[in-house]
Structure formats: structure tokens, C-alpha cells
């Protein structure tokens, strides 16, 4: 947990010509959110999608599957829009799935702020965990994305250089 933003920053430094998107839960993002300052200072043009459920959703999901008591997994968050702006980045917020693709395209096309970093807070409701939040109607899209990822993994020529 907490590696999404730093990993995206490293990917952008290694491959400055590629679009980079970090998809982070709010708990994981907050573990290294101070690195937004570094991203802005270095002029990294990347997008961070924050899936906000005000909890450690992945831990909650795993513990629920092990019949553990749900304890100490919820927390309060800052308002991520002014939080991003306080570092000099943009911080748009979406509240419906219809807003995601157009805003994501805009985030990738425009510099995010003085340092070109930007966050995109997704506040769509979750059903208690990120994994369980995929709508049934989107199952085909998810399956296609997974098949694409599997194809990229199996074809060494499409992998990032090490």
C-alpha cells in the first residue's frame, strides 16, 4: 500500500513520453501523498485517480473474507481537490461514471498545474471495497481489459524495458 503515486512518478521519469496514470485507494494515496509536491516540482505530467471510500477498502475486503471483525479500517480524508491544489496541481472531482472518461482525457491532454501533476478524485459510491465496485454491466469491459493485460504480459516485445 502507498506505492501507487511513487511508482507512477518513477514510470514517468523513465518514460516521459508516455501517459502515466496512478490508480490509488484513498488510504494508499495518503501514505505517500506528500510526493505530489515532488511530482509538481519535477514537472511530471501524470494523473492520479483516487478511489475514495474513506477506509482501507482492500484490507476490509480481505478481512471480511476471513471472517475478521471490521475494526479500525475507516478514517476521514482531506478534500482532495484543494489538497492537490495546495501542491500546485489540479484536482478535479467526479461524482458519476459518465464524467470519468472525458475528464481523464482532459487530465492527460492538459498540464495539471505549475508542475503538470494532477489528481482526479473519484467519489462514486463503493460497496465496501474497490474490487466489488465494478458494475455488472461493466463486466465485459473489465474482462476485455484483463485479456489485454494478459496479452501484453505474454508478449515480451510489448513489455516495458527493465
Using one digit for the tens of pLDDT, what is the confidence trace for 73-119?
A: 889 989 888 888 888 888 787 777 777 788 877 777 776 544 445 55
Contact 60, 28 (CB under 8 A): no
pLDDT surpassing 70 at residue 160: no
Q: What pLDDT sits at residue 25?
A: 87
pLDDT at 158: 58
Q: What's residue 127's pLDDT?
A: 35
Give the CA distances from residue 103 to residues 14, 35, 97, 121, 130, in Å, rounded to whole numbers and listed in that order.
25, 23, 10, 11, 20
Mean pLDDT, the chain, rounded, equals 74
pLDDT at 30: 92
CATH class given for the domain over 4-133:
alpha beta
Q: List pLDDT tens digits, range 122-146.
A: 554 433 333 333 333 455 565 665 5
Chain position carrying cell 484513498: 26
Q: What is the pLDDT of residues 31-78, one digit of tens each?
A: 999 998 888 888 888 888 888 888 888 888 888 888 998 888 889 989
> Sorting pLDDT into bands at 50, 70 and 90, what band is 10?
very high
Gap between the Cα atoms of 45 and 137, Å rounded: 32
* The three grid cell numbers given for residue 159, joined into one nine-digit string: 513489455
CB 47 within 8 A of CB 120: yes
Instruction: Locate the domains of the chain by residue range.
Output: 4-133
- Check if the beta carbon of residue 88 is closer than 8 Å to that of residue 114: yes
Amino acid at each position: 500500500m502507498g506505492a501507487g503515486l511513487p511508482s507512477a512518478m518513477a514510470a514517468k521519469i523513465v518514460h516521459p513520453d508516455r501517459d502515466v496514470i496512478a490508480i490509488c485507494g484513498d488510504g494508499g494515496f495518503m501514505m505517500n501523498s506528500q510526493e505530489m509536491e515532488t511530482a509538481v516540482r519535477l514537472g511530471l505530467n501524470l494523473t492520479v485517480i483516487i478511489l475514495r471510500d474513506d477506509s482501507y477498502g482492500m484490507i476490509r475486503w480481505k478481512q471480511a473474507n476471513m471472517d475478521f471483525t471490521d475494526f479500525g479500517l475507516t478514517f476521514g480524508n482531506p478534500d482532495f481537490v484543494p489538497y492537490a491544489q495546495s501542491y500546485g496541481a489540479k484536482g478535479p472531482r467526479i461524482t458519476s461514471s459518465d464524467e470519468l472518461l472525458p475528464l481523464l482525457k482532459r487530465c492527460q491532454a492538459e498540464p495539471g498545474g505549475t508542475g503538470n501533476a494532477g489528481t482526479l478524485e473519484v467519489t462514486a459510491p463503493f460497496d465496501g471495497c474497490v474490487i466489488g465496485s465494478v458494475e455488472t454491466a461493466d463486466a465485459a469491459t473489465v474482462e476485455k481489459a484483463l485479456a489485454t493485460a494478459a496479452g501484453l504480459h505474454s508478449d515480451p516485445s510489448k513489455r516495458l524495458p527493465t
